Amino acid sequence: MLSFITSLLPTSYLLPGWLTLETNPLDDLLQGLVGACGISVLCSLMRVHLFVEEESRSEKDVSSQNHQSGTKRGFAGMLNFFFVTGILAIVGSRVASLVVLEFCLRAISGWVTAGPESGKFLQQLLVQSQFSLGCAINCSLHFLHEGASQRWLCLLLAAALSWFLARQASRLLHHVMALYKLHSSQRYCGICISLLTSGRCLLPMLCRALLITFSVAVMAAVSLINQQFLSATEALRFWTPLTICYTLLVVYMQEEQHRLPSSQAVLNTVIVRLGGLMVLMLTVGRWSDVLHILMCFLGEASCLIPTMDLLDATSSREEEDYTDNVRREHRRRPQAQKKEHQS
Total number of residues shown for the chain = 343
Domain assignment present for residue 37? The answer is yes
Q: What percent of the chain has pLDDT over 90?
A: 24
Instruction: Band the pLDDT of 85: cuts 50, 70, 90.
Output: very high
pLDDT for position 184? 76
More confidently predicted of 247 and 41: 41
Is a pLDDT exceeding 80 seen at residue 38?
A: yes
Q: Over the Cα atoms of the chain, what is R_g?
A: 23
Cα–Cα distance measured from residue 131 to residue 75, given in angstroms and rounded to the nearest whole number: 21
Instruction: List the end-to-end C-alpha distance of the chain, in Å, as a whole number.
Output: 90
Domain assignment present for residue 128? The answer is yes
pLDDT tens digits, one per residue of 181-212: 888 777 778 888 888 888 788 888 999 999 99
The torsion defined by the Cα of 23, 38, 225 and 14, in degrees rounded to 10, comes to 30
| Crossing angle (nearest 10°) for helices 130-144 and 25-56 | 140
Instruction: Band the pLDDT of 170: cuts 50, 70, 90.
Output: very high
Q: Which residues of 274-309 are buried (b: 16+ CB within 10 A; e: fewer)?
A: bebbbebbeeebbebbbbbbebbbbbbebbbebbbb
In this prediction, residues 164-168 reach a mean pLDDT of: 95
In this prediction, residues 100-118 reach a mean pLDDT of: 75
Domain assignment present for residue 334? The answer is no
pLDDT for position 149? 79
Structural domain count of the chain: 1
Range of the domain at 72: 23-328
Cα–Cα distance measured from residue 255 to residue 171, given in angstroms and rounded to the nearest whole number: 39
pLDDT tens digits, one per residue of 1-19: 444 444 444 444 444 444 4
Is a pLDDT exceeding 80 seen at residue 20?
A: no
The torsion defined by the Cα of 304, 309, 314 and 316, in degrees rounded to 10, comes to 140
Domain assignment present for residue 1? The answer is no
Mean pLDDT value across the chain: 76
In this prediction, residues 51-78 reach a mean pLDDT of: 63
Cα–Cα distance measured from residue 277 to residue 99, given in angstroms and rounded to the nearest whole number: 9
pLDDT tens digits, one per residue of 216-255: 999 999 888 887 766 667 777 777 776 776 666 666 666 6
Q: What is the pTM of this model?
A: 0.80
Q: Compute CA 167 distance to the chain's CA centroid, rounded to the nearest angstrom.
A: 18
Question: 96-105, 220-229, 281-290: which has the minimum mean pLDDT?
Answer: 281-290
pLDDT for position 29? 92
Ramachandran assignment for 58, one of left (phi > 0), alpha (psi -120 to 50 degrees), beta (any other): left
Is a pLDDT exceeding 80 seen at residue 338?
A: no
Short-list 20, 80, 208, 227, CA closest to 139: 227
Domain assignment present for residue 17? The answer is no
Cα–Cα distance measured from residue 229 to residue 238, given in angstroms and rounded to the nearest whole number: 9
Domain assignment present for residue 275? The answer is yes
Domain assignment present for residue 10? The answer is no
Q: Residue 149: what residue type?
A: S
pLDDT for position 166? 94
Domain assignment present for residue 295? The answer is yes
More confidently predicted of 220 and 307: 220
Cα–Cα distance measured from residue 114 to residue 255, given in angstroms and rounded to the nearest whole number: 11
pLDDT for position 219? 93
Full 3-state SS string of 125-156: HHHHCHHHHHHHHHHHHHHHCCCCCCHHHHHH
Cα–Cα distance measured from residue 296 to residue 192, given in angstroms and rounded to the nearest whole number: 37
